[in-house]
Amino acid sequence: MKWKRFLAGVGTLCLGLSLFLPLQVRAQENTGSTAIKTTVPDAHIVLLDIGEHGSVLINDRTYTAKDEQVEVARLAEQTYIIQPDEGWQIEQVKYGQEGVQETVKVSKGAFTAPAICSDDNKLTVTFQKNSANGGTDTEDTDTPDKGGQTSPQTGTGVKTGDTVNFILWLSLLGGSGGAVLILRRKMRIAD
């Protein structure tokens, strides 16, 4: 009976501590100061891989297979207008971070990419010869542009300033759970 009360008390104490104990930040205070300066660019580079037999119109400038990159405004949506040569049509358009590009849906020969904040995006456009059925465009012209449908950036987390000691909370949770399991087992044996 004493053991049950002890375990119940330990479990309650762990639960109470985990709910009401504020975590303290342990930082060393220095008398000096540190200044960190950074420069945020106004524009970013998007790499281009434009296939033969077409071009891409970006900001009123035409880019072809010879061009390797374009500078686009930071945190602004960018519209890309794909223009196949006579007798050719758009085969595929991919956009996104290099290595994780996704096929985008082109509407009426154009798509709008979401705002970017880094230099690791790439636009890949391929063209194919018109088919024998009169060269009709196979692109979906009724579906509105979905903004490029790129995947979110990977590998970059947002720093929140959270200073929680995860190991402390995990050990308190584990200790509480262990105390409850032991108490339950003891109750079964007593019955």
Ranges in the chain, pLDDT < 50: 134-156
Return all residues near 151 (Cβ < 8 A) that are at least 6 apart. Answer: 96, 97, 100, 102
Predicted TM-score (pTM) of this structure:
0.51
* pLDDT for residue 39: 85
Q: How many Cβ atoms are within 10 Å of 69's Cβ, its own excluded?
A: 13
The per-residue pLDDT for range 115-160, each reduced to its tens digit, is 888 888 999 999 999 876 544 444 444 433 444 433 444 444 555 5
What the block records as the tokens of 125 is: 């456009």
Return all residues near 38 (Cβ < 8 A) that are at least 6 apart. Answer: none
* pLDDT for residue 137: 45
Letter for the amino acid at 188? R
* pLDDT for residue 150: 39
Calculate what percentage of the chain has a pLDDT beyond 70: 76
Answer whether 71's CB lies under 8 Å from 43's CB.
yes
Minimal CA–CA distance to 110: which of 84, 71, 136?
84
Half-sphere exposure of 130 (CA within 13 A, CB side): 12
